[in-house]
């Protein structure tokens, strides 16, 4: 086993000696969470948002801050009881934003120092989102919900109290929301000389039954103005019902303000096309593009469309790097982007005409998003597994960074962080796999510790240096566990073959990778092999259920959150059918049956279950419907296996509410304390 110690994640010895506190569930909800960031037109100031939560009130509030690009004290600009969002710097150096202060979305403007706050527009109760100013400041675009379907009361007005849904097609619910008979449309509106929107917003998608941006995760990164403001590009998947459920084919549409005409720039490209970005001179537009129809985790290439030649090209064709967060250089000759590489996220760049991709930054961190702030300067959102997001300045010539913010300096003062190590473990098919190992604070190799195998979801979501508020490795380690987190087969950052090979093979090599990882780490003398646990969510929860029937006595406890227990019943009850078809390989009624149902279905191996298991599920999880958790818990109960079901009726695939999250952690750690008997008490 090769090892690489990530020394950059360690506290200085003096600081470590003075530390007394550790990560707790409550501490995670005290931390300020960095959100948006926007660089001012003069490149001197960064505006950003920070959300802070009240555990007692069970909600959060978002405020606006600024910090100089050159470095200096951060300054809080808003302290309203409502939340601020959707930052836009105008050409005159003033900052606009949306505020929920009055109960509905209102557009305000203020000076760069927070003075001179003025109401520009109050939008209807239906509200707006994703508002953007044109670079000239003469136009705005935004999205707003438009009703496109009929409710039971529309069909039968004499039954005003009837409580039902009439469903004739698929995609009637998505992730955690039922179809509410509305879609998001893009609106365009002029702005007067006084900076206020004038007239009425024009729906550029009038009469259409499609969302823009893509729901539920798309935001204003999927919308863009041309430099002159007379064209706007937006992302939409113009399909409905079963066709929408079975396809990832979204496109980039160009709307011309002067003619009112719309053009599909990505016509013929079959996968996701998202996040348009115009070149500084407006002669080209670039976007992220996936080639494979139906494969939501395909490699994102960068496609550039030339308005003069009317030709487009994937300038990253042949590369193994997947792009995100693309940004044009000021001269239009270079495109910068973020990409996952071996458990980190780094900045890369490529000539806008195509060529060799070059890596700009290195180190044990994630640069999750960035904005350019001059010819050789970028401002990035940086995290590690031990440190939540802060802003840093990056020199684009050298790749060196300078910290700009310390959002949680006070909250994390004196808090111990755990040592993180990256190992390379040989898999059963002779390949090398990166495995993160996170040790408890004050780790003593002469002692023995219980260990947890962490099974990642996705199934193609990488384990990187992201700071997680759901599965926080620092919190797991702070409770006395060694955490083993493998970047097993299917996770990005290790080449296209490694990433794609999990499709149709959920219960094959990826599961063997998990066992290779835990076997390698548990061979260490400081790991108590009699106290191993296995935990995970989504595909990770599926992995837990499958391993519960195949682990051959390795584990003493299991915890599955929103896991897939029965692939046969899951397939027709999930919502994005393209995901099910691509990753499972076939429908359960097709003959001959795919091995996903005959070899990889956890339900088939429940006859071997003999180990305590905690099942967690959300009632609004439509990606993995609640019946999956209920089937698993019912199986354990009927077979007499010690088990518990933690059910959140109003949560979806993730636990999002502060008090629910703390409860989740308390039950989680109490279960581990009871079944693995660690040397430290469970989190309080």
Residues known to be catalytic: 538, 621, 653
Six token digits for residue 197: 């929107």
Give the separation between CA 64 and CA 93, rounded to whole angstroms: 16
Give the separation between CA 653 and CA 662, rounded to whole angstroms: 16
* Residue 638, CA atoms < 13 Å, CB-side half-sphere: 8
Q: What share of the chain is helix, strand, coil (3-state, %, to 5)?
A: 15, 35, 50
Sheet containing 75-76: which strands, arranged edge to edge? 33-39, 45-54, 59-68, 75-76
Q: Are 511 and 489 in contact (CB under 8 A)?
A: no
Length of the chain: 684
Tally of CB atoms within 10 A around 673: 17
Q: Are 263 and 211 in contact (CB under 8 A)?
A: no
Name the residue among 252, 288, 293 with its Cα closest to residue 271: 293
Q: Are 287 and 276 in contact (CB under 8 A)?
A: yes
Give the separation between CA 97 and CA 86, rounded to whole angstroms: 5
SS (H, E, C) 175-217: CCEECCCEEEEEEEEEECCCCCECCCCEECCCCCCCCCCCCCC
Residue that is written with structure tokens 């900045």 in the block? 347
Q: Are 487 and 435 in contact (CB under 8 A)?
A: yes
Name the residue among 340, 207, 231, 210 with its Cα closest to residue 283: 231
Residue that is written with structure tokens 């010819």 in the block? 375
The SS3 of residue 295 is coil
Q: Beta partners for 391? A: 381
The b-or-e profile of 311-330 (16+ CB within 10 A means b, else e) is ebeebbeebbbbbbbbbbbe
Q: Are 62 and 85 in contact (CB under 8 A)?
A: yes
The SS3 of residue 296 is coil
Q: What is the dihedral of CA 139, 145, 146, 152, to 10 degrees?
A: -170
Tally of CB atoms within 10 A around 582: 20
**Residue 543 contacts by C-beta under 8 Å, 6 or more apart in sequence?**
455, 510, 511, 514, 534, 536, 563
Residue that is written with structure tokens 């000021």 in the block? 330
Tally of CB atoms within 10 A around 81: 9
Give the separation between CA 253 and CA 233, rounded to whole angstroms: 5
Give the separation between CA 420 and CA 430, rounded to whole angstroms: 25
Give the separation between CA 537 and CA 507, rounded to whole angstroms: 15
Residue that is written with structure tokens 């933690």 in the block? 646
Q: Beta partners for 646? A: 616
């Amino acid at each position: 086993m090769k090892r690489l110690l990530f020394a950059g994640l360690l506290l200085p010895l003096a600081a470590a000696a003075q530390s007394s506190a550790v990560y707790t569930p409550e501490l995670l909800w005290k931390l300020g969470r960095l959100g948006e960031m926007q660089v001012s037109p003069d490149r001197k100031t960064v505006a950003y948002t920070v959300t802070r939560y009240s555990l007692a009130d069970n909600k959060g509030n978002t405020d606006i801050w600024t910090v100089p690009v050159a470095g200096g004290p951060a300054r809080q600009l808003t302290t309203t009881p409502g939340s601020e969002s959707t930052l836009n710097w105008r050409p005159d150096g003033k900052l606009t934003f949306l505020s929920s202060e009055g109960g509905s979305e209102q557009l305000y403007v203020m000076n760069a120092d927070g003075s001179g706050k003025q109401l520009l527009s109050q939008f209807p109760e239906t509200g707006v989102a994703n508002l953007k100013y044109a670079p000239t400041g003469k136009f705005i675009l935004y999205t707003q919900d438009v009703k496109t379907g009929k409710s039971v009361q529309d069909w039968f007005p004499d039954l005003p109290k009837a409580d039902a849904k009439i469903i004739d097609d698929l995609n009637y619910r998505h992730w955690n929301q039922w179809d509410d008979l509305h879609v998001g449309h893009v609106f365009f509106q002029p702005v007067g000389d006084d900076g206020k929107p004038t007239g009425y917003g024009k729906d550029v998608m009038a009469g259409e039954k499609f969302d823009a941006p893509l729901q539920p995760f798309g935001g204003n990164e999927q919308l863009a103005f041309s430099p002159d403001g007379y064209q706007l590009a937006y992302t939409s998947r113009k399909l409905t019902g079963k066709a929408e459920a079975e396809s990832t084919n979204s496109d980039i549409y160009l709307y011309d303000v002067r003619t009112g005409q719309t053009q599909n720039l990505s016509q013929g490209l079959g996968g996701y096309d998202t996040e348009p970005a115009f070149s500084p001179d407006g002669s080209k537009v670039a976007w992220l593009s996936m080639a494979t129809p139906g494969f939501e985790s395909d490699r994102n290439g960068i496609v550039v469309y030339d308005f003069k030649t009317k030709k487009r090209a994937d300038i990253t064709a042949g590369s193994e790097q997947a792009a995100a967060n693309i940004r044009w250089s000021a001269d239009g000759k270079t495109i910068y982007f973020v990409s996952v590489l071996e458990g980190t996220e780094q900045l890369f760049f490529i000539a806008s005409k195509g060529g060799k991709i070059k890596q700009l930054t290195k180190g044990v961190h994630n640069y999750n998003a960035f904005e350019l702030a001059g010819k050789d300067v970028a401002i990035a959102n940086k995290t590690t597994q031990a440190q939540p997001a802060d802003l840093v300045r990056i020199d684009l010539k050298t790749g060196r960074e300078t910290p700009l913010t310390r959002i949680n300096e006070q909250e994390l003062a004196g808090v111990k962080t755990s040592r993180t190590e990256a190992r390379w473990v040989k898999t059963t098919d002779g390949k090398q796999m990166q495995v993160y190992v996170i040790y408890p604070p004050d780790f003593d190799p002469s002692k023995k510790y219980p260990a947890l195998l962490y099974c990642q979801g996705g199934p193609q979501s990488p384990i990187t240096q992201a700071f997680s508020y759901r599965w926080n490795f620092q919190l797991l380690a702070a409770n006395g566990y060694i955490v083993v987190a493998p970047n097993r087969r299917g996770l990005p950052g290790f080449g296209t073959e490694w990433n794609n090979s999990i499709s149709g093979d959920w219960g094959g090599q990826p599961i063997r990778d998990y066992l290779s990882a835990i076997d390698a780490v548990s061979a260490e003398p400081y790991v108590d092999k009699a106290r191993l646990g296995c935990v995970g969510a989504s595909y990770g929860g599926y992995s837990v259920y499958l391993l519960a029937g195949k682990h051959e006595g390795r584990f003493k406890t299991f915890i599955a959150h929103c896991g897939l227990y029965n692939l046969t019943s899951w397939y027709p009850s999930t919502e994005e059918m393209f995901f099910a078809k691509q990753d499972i390989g076939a429908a359960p009624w097709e003959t001959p049956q795919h091995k996903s149902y005959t070899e990889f279905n956890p339900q088939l191996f429940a006859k071997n279950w003999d180990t305590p298991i905690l099942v967690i599920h959300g009632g609004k999880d439509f990606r993995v419907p609640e019946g999956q958790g209920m089937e698993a818990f019912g199986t354990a109960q009927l077979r007499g296996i010690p088990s518990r079901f933690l059910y959140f009726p109003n949560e979806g695939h993730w636990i999002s509410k502060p008090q629910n999250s703390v409860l989740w952690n308390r039950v989680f750690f109490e279960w581990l304390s009871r079944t693995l008997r660690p040397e430290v008490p469970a989190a309080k």
